[in-house]
A and B are shown apart, each in its own frame.
Chain A
Amino acid sequence: DVVMTQTPVSLSVAIGQPASISCKSSQSLVGTSGKTYLNWLLQRPGQSPKRLIYLVSKLDSGIPDRFSGSGSETDFTLKISRVEADDLGVYYCLQGTHFPYTFGAGTKLELK
């Protein structure tokens, strides 16, 4: 199975400051179609996960452009340009290229 390694495990950020989360995969996530099926999700406390980004860098509808995704092959990053209180929760990366699909262990974003 593809192992998704997320760092850091937790992140303490002040409102208005930037944040960055890394996700590294144990093998390339480029699929046979040439597309890279790497997603980012946010699970707020007590809620189900919500997808923020798909195909490495495409924002889902309604997701503010404070969020951005980048990367290629095995190395991916989620950046928040200016953290807001609504951004708190656990962020997961998810690869959808190889079966079984696998998640990172999560990064907990807290307010400083």
Chain B
Amino acid sequence: QVQLKESGPGLVQPSQTLSLTCTVSGLSLTSNSVSWIRQPPGKGLEWMGVIWSNGGTDYNSAIKSRLSISRDTSKSQVFLKMNSLQTEDTAMYFCARTSGGWGQGVMVTVSS
């Protein structure tokens, strides 16, 4: 059974860096791509970026300068790092397999 689970700090201070981890089970990262998507409270969905099965990445140009996605295939983990956080980055952050399956999400609040 495919499962994805996000983890990370619930609160981040403005201007700091957000680090999130997506731990997957039931699938191999070397044959599946994983995206990060976020959803501000009460709002719609924004695709942030993807790490492909070959390890290559693509990012949303709107946040590309602040975003980095990487992985550790031996630990079945995908990482998101985003710097210079502002209050508008407050959102639920999801990881999702491109061919279906989303994590439960992790709420991140940017506040001092």
Contact = CB atoms under 8 A, between A and B. Distances in A.
B58 A48 contact: no
B44 A92 contact: yes
Nearest to A100: B60
Contacts of B47: 94, 100-103
B104 A100 contact: no
Interface of A: 1, 47-51, 54, 60, 92, 94, 96, 99-106
Contacts of A47: 104
Q: Can you list the 10 inter-chain pairs with the closest CB atoms, starting with the nearest? A: A100-B60, A101-B47, A103-B45, A48-B102, A51-B100, A105-B44, A48-B105, A106-B44, A100-B47, A48-B104
B66 to A, nearest CB: 14
Interface in B53-71: 58-62
Interface of B: 35, 44-47, 50, 58-62, 94, 96, 98-105
Contact of A99 (B58, B94, B98, B105): B58
Contacts of A103: 44-47
Contacts of B96: 49
Nearest to B58: A99
B46 A96 contact: no
Nearest to B102: A48
Contacts of A54: 99-100
Of B45, B60, B94, B98, most buried by chain A (CB within 10 Å of CB) is B45
B94 A48 contact: yes
Given A1-B61, A48-B103, A100-B60, 14 more contacts: A48-B94, A48-B102, A48-B105, A49-B96, A51-B101, A54-B99, A54-B100, A92-B45, A96-B98, A99-B60, A101-B47, A102-B47, A105-B44, A106-B44
